[in-house]
């Protein structure tokens, strides 16, 4: 509200827009707020001296208000393409504005326009509602209020054209619909399966962010179902999709998603490392199958193949090393749960990834990969109730090393 009022006092129009308005109308507490204004980014910075201008494809201002960051964007106009004329294209490039490539995908998004222009260039009608602080009204050019009442997600304009402009809109349609408990309007859903492969042209880092929004949420399992139904999961996780028919695969993934959703609802921390460990484990298990048949044990095979699975996954969805490393550690610890003699349980329990690996073991047992007895033993061990088998007899090699170190003289037993 401070940002809206300050822009108004400086002589500019300013509206709350997008997810903040949509969620408030749906009775959901918004996570963030966006502001749309007729002030250019540089003019916003003149009003708010601490504002920071960001973005090249979509230039906007980040304004700090209290402990929050408010995104302030200038009204945008509809896309322009080079085919609209050489003069207009040159003007567009000079203004660093909204340009499309030959496939219709947005390259730059900085053509400034009016409030009405801005409404029609937004993705979904429910995201094109503007709260005006001067008279406490909601401005609606696209029928967003009607769609809120009808509980449906509808694209503004021709769906195929809008998806080609930005294929991520297909993922957003699923996420927003399930977040609000709405349906995707028939015409909006119709082209998705045919256009799903367009996601392969989206930068992997952007898809990683979208995957987290889809799966680190209270609606994680419903998002998973809809992504599969619309052919989107198969593009995002092709290795995993190829394993979905195998016994236990969906059980393991759904268990992870259900657990994640429960933690989100309880406001507990969640980590992408555990999520990706579950999503990619079926692909790793499939890759290891032939090696295990040839006599390699699980402990040898996991490190050998985990890197290959992760490398293939980042061809579509990026996986930063800060998450891929703990993911691979969770995998690598799985064989160690079978080693329960001597001090091995103690050393495993001291590992920083032990708790995540234990939770992953529970998922694998539910999927039929491990025994309930193994899980029960480790549960009791953590409670201090599980008997630990003694270590094996004296190790001759270890005894010889001790003698060399201490100068001990061999004696007969």
In this structure, the number of other CB atoms found within 10 A of the CB of residue 302 comes to: 21
The pLDDT of residue 80: 55
What is the model's pTM?
0.85
Query: Ramachandran region of residue 59, left (φ > 0), alpha (ψ -120 to 50) or beta?
Result: beta
Lowest mean pLDDT among 73-77, 96-100, 275-279, 373-377: 96-100
- Residues 228-248 have pLDDT tens digits of 999 999 999 999 999 999 999
CA distance 270 to 39: 38
The pLDDT of residue 65: 85
Q: What's the CA angle centered on 141, arms 202 and 63, to 5 degrees?
A: 60
CA distance 44 to 52: 9
The pLDDT of residue 388: 78
Tell whether the model's pLDDT for residue 310 goes beyond 80. yes
- Residues 161-193 have pLDDT tens digits of 999 999 999 999 999 999 999 999 999 999 999
The pLDDT of residue 262: 96
- Give the chain's mean pLDDT: 88
Tell whether the model's pLDDT for residue 278 goes beyond 50. yes
Q: How confident is the model at residue 385 (pLDDT cuts 50, 70, 90)?
A: confident
The pLDDT of residue 289: 86
CA distance 104 to 167: 10
Structure tokens at 119: 């409404």
If you count them, how many residues does the chain have?
413
Render the burial of 267-281: b for 16+ CB within 10 Å, e for the rest: eeebbbbbbbbbbbb
DSSP element (H, E) containing 373: helix 372-382
Strands 152-153 and 137-140: unpaired
- Report how far apart the first and last C-alpha atoms of the chain are (Å, whole number): 85
- Residues 202-217 have pLDDT tens digits of 999 999 999 999 999 9
Q: Which residues are catalytic?
A: 32, 34, 123
């Amino acid at each position: 509200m401070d940002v809206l009022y300050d822009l108004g006092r400086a002589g500019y129009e300013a509206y709350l827009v997008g997810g903040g308005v949509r969620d408030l109308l749906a009775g959901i507490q918004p996570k963030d707020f966006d502001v749309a204004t007729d002030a250019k980014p540089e003019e916003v910075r003149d009003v708010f001296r601490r504002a920071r201008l960001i973005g090249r494809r979509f230039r906007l201002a980040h304004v700090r208000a209290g402990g929050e960051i408010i995104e302030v964007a200038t009204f945008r106009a509809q896309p322009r393409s080079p085919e609209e004329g050489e003069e207009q294209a040159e003007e567009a490039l000079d203004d660093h504005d909204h340009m499309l490539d030959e496939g219709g995908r947005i390259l730059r998004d900085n053509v400034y326009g009016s409030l009405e222009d801005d409404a029609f260039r937004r993705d979904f009608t429910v995201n094109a509602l503007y709260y005006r602080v001067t008279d406490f009204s909601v401005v609606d050019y696209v029928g967003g209020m009607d769609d809120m009442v009808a509980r449906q997600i509808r694209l503004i304009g021709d769906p195929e054209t809008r998806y080609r402009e930005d294929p991520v809109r297909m993922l957003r349609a699923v996420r927003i619909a399930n977040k609000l408990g709405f349906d995707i309007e028939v015409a909006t859903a119709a082209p998705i399966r045919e256009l799903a492969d367009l996601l392969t042209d989206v930068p992997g880092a952007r898809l990683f962010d979208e995957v987290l929004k889809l799966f680190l949420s209270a609606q994680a399992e419903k998002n998973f179902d809809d992504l599969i139904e619309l052919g989107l999961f198969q593009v995002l996780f092709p290795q995993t999709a190829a394993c979905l028919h195998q016994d236990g695969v969906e059980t393991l993934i759904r268990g992870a998603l259900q657990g994640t959703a429960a933690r989100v609802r309880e406001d507990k921390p969640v980590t992408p490392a555990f999520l990706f460990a579950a999503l990619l484990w079926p692909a790793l298990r499939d890759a290891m199958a032939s090696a295990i048949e040839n006599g390699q044990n699980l402990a040898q095979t996991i490190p050998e193949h985990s890197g290959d699975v992760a490398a293939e996954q980042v061809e579509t969805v990026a996986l930063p090393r800060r998450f891929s490393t703990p993911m691979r550690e969770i995998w690598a610890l799985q064989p160690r749960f079978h080693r329960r003699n001597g001090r091995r349980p103690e050393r495993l329990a001291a590992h920083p990834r032990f708790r995540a690996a234990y939770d992953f073991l529970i998922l694998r047992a539910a999927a039929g990969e491990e025994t309930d007895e193994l899980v029960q033993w480790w549960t009791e061990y953590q409670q201090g109730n599980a008997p630990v088998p003694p270590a094996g007899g004296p190790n001759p090699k270890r005894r010889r090393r001790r003698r060399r170190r201490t100068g001990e003289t061999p004696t007969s037993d």
